[in-house]
Amino acid sequence: MSRIRIDHLAKRGGEASPLVALTAYDYTFARLAERAGVDILLVGDSLAQVVQGEDTTLPVTLEQMIYHARCVNRARERALLVVDLPFRAYKASPAQAFDSAARLMAEGGAEMVKLEGGGPMVETVAFLQERGIPVMGHLGLTPQAIHQLGGYRLQGRDPEAAEALLSDARALEQAGARALVLEAVPAALARRVSEALSIPVIGIGAGPDCDGQVLVLHDALGLGEEEIPRFAKSFMSGAESITGALAEFCGEVRAGTFPGADHRFD
Ligand code: KIV
């Protein structure tokens, strides 16, 4: 079983099936996700909400991200390990982002870091990329900007917002981002972004026309007390085990049946 390396993160289409990414925060679930066959393990800052019970992703610290990345890294066999830069650890300057990203790699085992936003983050992406740190961008619904966005809602709905998002996506790619997460945007916009970029676009609530899909582990297993987001799906119903449910998630993404009509925004 060969390890997924960064240069495997190519555009999909043709023979290549969509990439499957899943968040993971600890050793046990990371192992189950590995057994199910995910391509990317993302230590998301959503851990603030699903592990720590916080209202937003904002409070999670760099130390905590490193701790969870180490736990996940110990379970790794094949998947690429991507770790989120937490809010307070990179927005101030490219140099701050470098210090934090370097710690996620050196201490947490990250092979790639993810950061949210376009605009000023473009310079940060170039700064990291030039210094040997592969970056995954994140546009659309960016939870670290929740107080600016005013809620967890669909982004890029009006033509102006859609053009701005497309231009941010191009700028991130130009700056050297190696992949992009697109969250909660209309399926048609995600398709435009995907077609415009030569790096893989990984969707969450972004419809089926992306190069891959990512879900939060707790949503994929229906673990929350509240209803899971409309774009997500619990793969536990009908499954005999957690590995079986996660394998079903992988299978449906690769077969192109998830996300279906009920899990997209038009
Ligand atoms: O933190 C996270 O879980 C994420 C996913 C929603 C992509 O960024």
Domain that holds residue 237: 6-263
158 C-alpha to ligand 1 centroid (Å): 24
Q: Is the CB of 182 under 6 A from ligand 1?
A: no
Q: Is the CB of 45 under 6 A from ligand 1?
A: yes
Query: pLDDT at position 2, please?
Result: 87
Instruction: Read off the pLDDT of residues 171-224 as tens digits, 9 standing for 90 and up.
Output: 999 999 999 999 999 999 999 999 999 999 999 999 999 999 999 999 999 998
Query: pLDDT at position 246, please?
Result: 98
Q: Is the CB of 100 under 6 A from ligand 1?
A: no
Report the atom number in ligand 1 closest to the C-alpha of 45: 1
- Tokens representing 37? 């066959």
The mean pLDDT value for 57-86 works out to 98
Query: pLDDT at position 135, please?
Result: 98
Catalytic annotation present for 195: no
pTM: 0.96
Pocket test for ligand 1, best of 214, 221, 253 (most atoms within 8 A of CB): 214
117 C-alpha to ligand 1 centroid (Å): 13
Number of domains in the chain: 1
Q: Is the CB of 65 under 6 A from ligand 1?
A: no
90 part of a folded domain: yes
Position 35, amino acid? R
- Tokens representing 246? 């996660």
Q: Is the CB of 181 under 6 A from ligand 1?
A: yes
69 C-alpha to ligand 1 centroid (Å): 14
What confidence tier does 159 reach under pLDDT thresholds 50, 70, 90?
very high
11 C-alpha to ligand 1 centroid (Å): 21
The mean pLDDT value for 2-16 works out to 79
* Catalytic site residue from 111, 116, 173, 183: 183
The mean pLDDT value for 24-32 works out to 98
| Alpha-carbon gap, residue 30 to 8, rounded angstroms | 20
252 part of a folded domain: yes
230 part of a folded domain: yes
**Which residue's CA is the closest to the ligand 1 atom numbered 2?**
44
Where b means 16+ CB within 10 Å and e means fewer, 132-145 reads ebbbbbbbbbbbbe
42 C-alpha to ligand 1 centroid (Å): 7
60 part of a folded domain: yes
**Which residue's CA is the closest to the ligand 1 atom numbered 8?**
44
Query: pLDDT at position 15, please?
Result: 66
| Closest-CA residue to 172 (of 95, 117, 99) | 117
Q: What is the DSSP string of 83-133?
A: EEPPGGGTSS-HHHHHHHHHHHHHTT--SEEE---STTHHHHHHHHHHTT-
The CATH number given to whatever domain includes residue 75 is 3.20.20.60
